[in-house]
Amino acid sequence: MRHLKKIMSIAVSVSLCSSAIAEEVIRPDIPFYDHTLSIEERLDDITARLTPEEKGHMITLWNPGVPRYGMKAYMPGEALHGLASPRVNTATVFPQSIGLAATWDPEAMKRMGDAVSDEARAQYHNGPVISRGQRGPLTFWSPVINIARDPRWGRTQEAYGEDPLINGMMATAYVQGLQGDHPTYLKTAAGAKHFVANNEEHNRFHGNANISEKQLREYYFPAYKQVVEEGNAQIIMTAYNALNGEPAVTNTWLIRDVLRGEWGFDGFVLGDYGSVLMVTKGWGERGFTGHEIYDNYVESGAAVMNAETLDFDNTRIFRRELITAIERGMVDVGQLDRAFRNTIRVGLKLGMFDPEELSPWKDLPFETMASFKDLALELAEKSMVLLQNEPLEDGSPLLPLNKSELKTVAVVGPNADVLNYGTYSGTATDPVTPLQGIRNYLGDDIEVLYVPWTTAENELSDIPMDNITTLDNQGLGVWNATYYDNPHAGGRIAAGDNVANIDYHWINDKPHRRIKNDRYSVVYTTTVVPPQSGLYTLGVDHQGGDVIVQVNGGPLMRDHGDNNKLRRTTTNLELDATRTYEFTVISMRRENAEEHVLRFGWQLPQEESEFEGGELEVARQADAVIAVMGLSVEYERESIDRAFEGLPPEQVEMLQGVVAANPKTAVVLQSGSSIESPELKAIAPAILQSWYPGEQGGNAIANTLFGDNNPGGKLPLTFVKRWDDLPAFNDYDISKGRTYLYFEKEPLWAFGHGLSYTTFDMEALNVKDKSVAKDGTIKLDVIVKNTGERDGDEVVQVYVKDLFERSEKPLQRLKAFERVSVQAGKSEVVSLSIDAKDLAYWDEHTKDWALGDRYEIRVGNASDNILLTETITLQSVQ
Residue 664 has a pLDDT of 97
Query: Is residue 612 scored above 60 in pLDDT?
Result: no
26 phi and psi, to 5 degrees? -65, 165
Residues in the chain, how many?
A: 878
* Sheet with 827-835, side-by-side order of all strands: 760-767, 777-786, 827-835
- Say if 630 falls within a structural domain: yes
User: Which residues are CB-contacts of 329 (< 8 A; sequence separation ≥ 6)?
Assistant: none
- Say if 17 falls within a structural domain: no
H-helix segments, 187-251: 213-215, 222-229
Summarised one tens digit per residue, pLDDT across range 445-458 is 999 999 988 765 56
What CATH number has the domain bearing residue 844?
Answer: 2.60.40.10
Query: Is residue 695 scored above 90 in pLDDT?
Result: yes
Nearest Cα neighbor of 14 from 311, 356, 362, 357 is 356
Summarised one tens digit per residue, pLDDT across range 595-607 is 899 999 998 876 4
User: Which residues are CB-contacts of 80 (< 8 A; sequence separation ≥ 6)?
Assistant: 96, 97, 142, 143, 144, 158, 423, 424, 425
Asked whether residue 444 falls in the same domain as residue 469, the answer is: no
State how far Cα 716 lies from the chain centre.
15
Peptide bond into 530 cis (omega under 30): no
Q: 463-477, 572-586, 670-684, 698-712 — which is least confidently predicted?
A: 463-477
Q: Does the annotation mark 272 as catalytic?
A: yes
In what helix (H) or strand (E) does residue 822 lie, and over which residues does it extend? strand 813-822
Q: Classify residue 410 by burial, with Cβ atoms within 10 Å: 0-12, 13-18, 19+.
A: buried
CA distance 531 to 58: 31
Count Cβ atoms below 10 Å from residue 512 Cβ, excluding itself: 17
Q: pLDDT band at 19, cuts 50/70/90?
A: very low
What whole-number percentage of the chain has pLDDT above 90?
A: 75
Q: Give the max Cα distance, the chain.
A: 89
Domain of residue 523: give its range.
465-603
Asked whether residue 652 falls in the same domain as residue 524, the answer is: no
Beta bridge partners of 271: 238
In the chain, how many domains are there? 4
Asked whether residue 470 falls in the same domain as residue 450, the answer is: no
- Say if 22 falls within a structural domain: no
Taking residues 804-829, report their average pLDDT. 98
Q: Is the dihedral of CA 383, 384, 388, 391 positive or negative?
A: negative
What CATH number has the domain bearing residue 503?
Answer: 2.60.120.380
Asked whether residue 164 falls in the same domain as residue 230, the answer is: yes
Asked whether residue 811 falls in the same domain as residue 723, the answer is: no
Peptide bond into 137 cis (omega under 30): no
Query: Is residue 474 scored above 80 in pLDDT?
Result: no
Q: Across the chain, what does the average pLDDT equal?
A: 91
- Say if 9 falls within a structural domain: no
- Say if 413 falls within a structural domain: yes
Quick check: 692 and 672 in contact, CB under 8 A? yes
Asked whether residue 181 falls in the same domain as residue 307, the answer is: yes
- Say if 222 falls within a structural domain: yes
499 phi and psi, to 5 degrees? -130, 155
- Say if 93 falls within a structural domain: no
Asked whether residue 147 falls in the same domain as residue 62, the answer is: yes
Quick check: 802 and 857 in contact, CB under 8 A? no
Summarised one tens digit per residue, pLDDT across range 168-181 is 999 999 999 999 99
Q: Is the dihedral of CA 659, 662, 666, 669 positive or negative?
A: negative
Summarised one tens digit per residue, pLDDT across range 283-328 is 665 556 789 899 999 999 999 999 999 999 988 899 899 999 999 9
Could you say which of 303, 334, 361 is where a domain stops? 361
Virtual torsion, Cα 159, 162, 167, 169, nearest 10 deg: -140
Beta bridge partners of 689: 385, 669
For residue 66, the 8-state DSSP code is: B
Residue 27 has a pLDDT of 74
User: Which residues are CB-contacts of 36 (< 8 A; sequence separation ≥ 6)?
Assistant: 2
Asked whether residue 727 falls in the same domain as residue 845, the answer is: no
Residue 700 has a pLDDT of 98
Give the residue, 876 or 687, on which the prediction is more confident.
687
H-helix segments, 366-470: 373-383, 434-442
Quick check: 432 and 696 in contact, CB under 8 A? yes
Q: 147-151, 547-551, 587-591, 695-699 — which is least confidently predicted?
A: 587-591
Peptide bond into 194 cis (omega under 30): yes
Quick check: 859 and 782 in contact, CB under 8 A? yes
Residue 613 has a pLDDT of 66
What CATH number has the domain bearing residue 273?
Answer: 3.20.20.300
Q: 65-69, 391-395, 611-615 — which is least confidently predicted?
A: 611-615
Please report the DSSP string for 521-582 in residue order. EEEEEEEE--SS-EEEEEEEEEESEEEEEEETTEEEEEE---SSS-EEEEEEEEE-TTS-EE
Count Cβ atoms below 10 Å from residue 856 Cβ, excluding itself: 15
Asked whether residue 478 falls in the same domain as residue 577, the answer is: yes
Give the residue, 845 or 16, on which the prediction is more confident.
845
Quick check: 16 and 350 in contact, CB under 8 A? yes
How many CA atoms within 13 Å lie on the side-chain side of 837? 5
CA distance 461 to 445: 42
- Say if 18 falls within a structural domain: no
Query: Is residue 23 scored above 70 in pLDDT?
Result: no
Taking residues 37-50, report their average pLDDT. 97
Residue 21 has a pLDDT of 35
Count Cβ atoms below 10 Å from residue 517 Cβ, excluding itself: 13
CA distance 116 to 301: 35
Nearest Cα neighbor of 577 from 533, 538, 547 is 533
Peptide bond into 411 cis (omega under 30): no
Residue 260 has a pLDDT of 98
Could you say which of 314, 333, 361 is where a domain stops? 361
What CATH number has the domain bearing residue 387?
Answer: 3.40.50.1700
- Choosing from 118, 150, 272, 417, the catalytic residue is 272
Query: Is residue 475 scored above 80 in pLDDT?
Result: no
Please report the DSSP string for 641-665 in residue order. --SSSSS-HHHHHHHHHHHHH-S-E
Give the residue, 784 or 75, on which the prediction is more confident.
784
CA distance 734 to 746: 17
Taking residues 778-790, report their average pLDDT. 98
Residue 8 has a pLDDT of 28
Could you say which of 337, 361, 385 is where a domain stops? 361
Quick check: 301 and 325 in contact, CB under 8 A? yes
Taking residues 483-493, report their average pLDDT. 90
Q: pLDDT band at 4, cuts 50/70/90?
A: very low
Residue 15 has a pLDDT of 34
Nearest Cα neighbor of 70 from 28, 9, 104, 108 is 28
CA distance 34 to 512: 54
Quick check: 737 and 748 in contact, CB under 8 A? no
Residue 242 has a pLDDT of 97
Asked whether residue 388 falls in the same domain as residue 441, the answer is: yes
Query: Is residue 145 scored above 90 in pLDDT?
Result: yes
Summarised one tens digit per residue, pLDDT across range 359-388 is 999 999 999 999 999 999 999 999 999 999
Peptide bond into 727 cis (omega under 30): no
Radius of gyration of the chain from its Cα atoms, rounded to whole angstroms: 28
* Sheet with 246-247, side-by-side order of all strands: 208-209, 242-243, 246-247
Decide: helix, strand or coil at residue 36: coil
Query: Is residue 2 scored above 60 in pLDDT?
Result: no
Asked whether residue 579 falls in the same domain as residue 531, the answer is: yes
Query: Is residue 121 scored above 80 in pLDDT?
Result: yes
Give the residue, 876 or 721, on which the prediction is more confident.
721
CA distance 666 to 240: 41
Q: Is the dihedral of CA 560, 566, 572, 574 positive or negative?
A: positive
Residue 287 has a pLDDT of 55
Quick check: 136 and 426 in contact, CB under 8 A? no
Query: Is residue 347 scored above 50 in pLDDT?
Result: yes
Asked whether residue 334 falls in the same domain as residue 385, the answer is: no
